[in-house]
Amino acid sequence: MKIFKININFLLLFVVLSGYMTYGQQPPQYTQYMYNTMVLNSGYTGTSSKIEALLLHRSQWVGIDGAPENQSFSIHGKLKERVGLGLSVTNDNLGASNAVEINGNFAYEIRTGYYSKLSLGLNAGVNILNVDYSKGIYSNGLDPLFQENLNSTRPVFGLGAFFYNTNWYVGLSSQNLLNSQIYSDDEMVTNRKTQYYLMGGYVFELSENLKFKPTVLAKEVAGAPLTVDVSGNFLIKEKLSLGVAYRYDDAISALAGFSITEQFFIGYAYDYTVTELNDYNNGSHEIILRYNIFDKYKRALSPRFF
């Protein structure tokens, strides 16, 4: 694959992300994945409340030109007692490339015990990829690969399972099972591979006003190293959330969240890079705003921390 550059920092970015670029536009990563679950697992659709809407913005590796930047919006809820519906939209930028993905989600819930449930979901939509080569400076400006911008629309189809109780959850999913390749002048520009997610979490009630939730998220894609995120969050008086996270061989993170009202929650995460890339960036920032309309009876019976 031929690589273009905007400046030295941008070239460094592409060297670091060589695996990412080789295997195409893979889904963006999130530090606050425990609050943004439906974007990763369609089985989560409709499990948290009557209606949940979430906005997220992530700026990764601030200070490096062309570094990843992502925005996402999702909304989901219960259509019937066992049926959940949802919609998610993500906007992912990396250098000269932009990918917009739109998914509709459906989930059906099966009761497996007095408190436990298994929610099986699917998502379907489109991924719209655009690469604007005019944003780059090339070592060979006459290369025909860079003479015409790339525009491609590809289908998306994924499956997810989310098994949960009032104080734990485990999920397995893939947001897209359809591999695809895009060529320009007989040269491969992007090769999209299926990515799988395995997630889990448990809520420990340490006291009446203090809960602790460790979580884990593992991501696997063919031809790339396994990525593992672990985190631990404390919930204080059902209002304030504080925690730390670690992404193996990548970053350590600080997380904080506050429930402004029973419906509104705001969260922030800061990632500190632990690789050699740390010398060239000022960390990553992620902020979310979540709105919930709860079933008051179920909320009072078993307030969940996920």
All structural domains of the chain, each given as residue ranges with its CATH number in brackets, are 8-301 (2.40.160.40)
Residues 6+ away with beta carbon under 8 Å from 224: 19, 20, 23, 26, 193
Mean pLDDT, consecutive 10-residue segments, the chain of 306 residues?
A: 40 42 59 93 91 95 90 93 95 90 97 94 95 65 61 93 95 90 56 88 94 95 87 95 95 97 94 91 95 69 57
- pLDDT confidence of residue 304: 62
Which is it for strands 187-192 and 204-207: parallel, antiparallel or unpaired?
unpaired
- pLDDT confidence of residue 236: 96
Q: What is the pTM of this model?
A: 0.85
